[in-house]
Homo-oligomer: A and B are copies of this chain.
Amino acid sequence: MIRLTCATAAGLLWWVSFAAAQTAPATAGPAPAAAIEDLVTANRILNDRGVLDAYGHISIRHPTNPNRYLMARAIAPGLVTAADIMEFDLDSNPVDRRGRALFIERFIHGEVYKARPDVNSVIHTHSTGVIPFSVTQTPLKPIVHNASFLHVGVPVWESRDGFGATKMLVSDGKLGQSLAARLADKPVVLMRGHGDVVVAPNVRVATARDVFTDENARMLAVALSLGGPVNYVS
């Protein structure tokens, strides 16, 4: 009986998996080559700048369908080419997986696009400049004009709130929704002991924001070490 049950379970799993394959989301059609090229370039820039390590990722909303987004398969950002860009629906299901490895934390992107119609590009990094600010009480505030967009405040998302001690990766939609809720209407949210998420109306602005968020954090740490009041961007 146990054997049969197991077989049934396995069969059920196969069936579910098959059903999932059957219901893969429809494509929005090919994105303009220029949009893909910008996305690839953003990967290269942030890799060169050392802001994006092997586990960070960048997406853009599909230019012709707001319910789809585009992101590389799971691959180091320094190696991304146009051929690596995949299409996802906002539940972060791939349109055409073809066996490729996916970033576990792609749910960050899908849930942010759902919650923020104004956002057309999302970047998730483990930027070493910002992480110290995610584990202390010192707020990450802008000191340099290039980072003045941080002036509205930088919330910190704490995965332990509501999800327990073991969940530090945004590995499903619920965690993504929680993170998007903490981001609210801001351009940047820190993830405690993990990194950040940076959003913008387009990938070029998102890329610049990502670089300047990291730079501002590093310079702020030095400014604070000098002592005395800090003259923040007002």
Tell me how many residues of A have a C-beta within 8 Å of chain B. Answer: 42
**Minimum Cβ distance to chain B for residue A56 (Å):** 12
Copy number in this complex? 4
**Chain A residues touching B, majority SS:** loop
- A100-139 contact mask (Cβ, 8 Å, vs B): 1 or 0: 0000000000000000000000000010100111111110
A227 to chain B, nearest CB (A): 7
Query: Does A228 touch B at the CB level, under 8 Å?
Result: yes
A227 touches B136 (CB 8 A): yes
Q: Does A20 contact B (CB under 8 A)?
A: no
**Interface residues, chain A, CB within 8 Å of chain B?**
55, 126, 128, 131-138, 142-146, 148, 160, 165, 168-169, 192-194, 215, 218-234
Beyond A132-B223, A136-B227, A138-B228: 6 further Cβ-contacts under 8 Å? A55-B146, A132-B143, A132-B222, A137-B229, A145-B194, A224-B227
